[in-house]
Amino acid sequence: QVQFVESGGGWVQPGGSLRLSCAASGRIINTYNMGWYRQAPGKQREFLAAITTPGSTIYADSVKGRFAIFRDNAKNTVYLQMNILKPEDTAVYYCNLWGSTSGWGQGTQVTVSS
């Protein structure tokens, strides 16, 4: 019943920044713990960041200090601010309920290259 639509991906040079958006169906962003994930070509999907309903955040070591997850309840949207991007950040980025193993959407492509 819950659907998420990712957007904001694109091409950026190394060292650049992007902000990804995750729009949820209905008004549920403030109801659930949310997470951002990514899957690079030939690799498994990996966890990047999560935000709990009280607003606490958790980050994977690979993105600590570079990425930030936050939400705007009024817009029913969760964001992933991505800074100091590296070529190895190239992947399809997904949002979902934190801990969910199903219900994956189309994701948004992020390509970091010069």
Question: In this structure, are residues 30 and 103 in contact, taking their beta carbons and an 8 Å threshold?
Answer: no
Tell me what pLDDT residue 30 has: 74
**48's tokens:** 């990047």
Phi, psi of 30 (to 5 degrees): -80, -5
Of the pLDDT bands very low, low, confident and very high (cuts 50, 70, 90), residue 29 is low
Residues in a beta bridge with 99: none
Mean pLDDT of 14-29: 88
Q: What is the mean pLDDT of residues 63-79?
A: 94
- In the structure, what pLDDT confidence band is assigned to residue 27 with cuts at 50, 70 and 90? low
Sheet with 4-7, side-by-side order of all strands? 4-7, 18-24, 77-82, 67-72
By percentage, how much of the chain surpasses pLDDT 90?
82
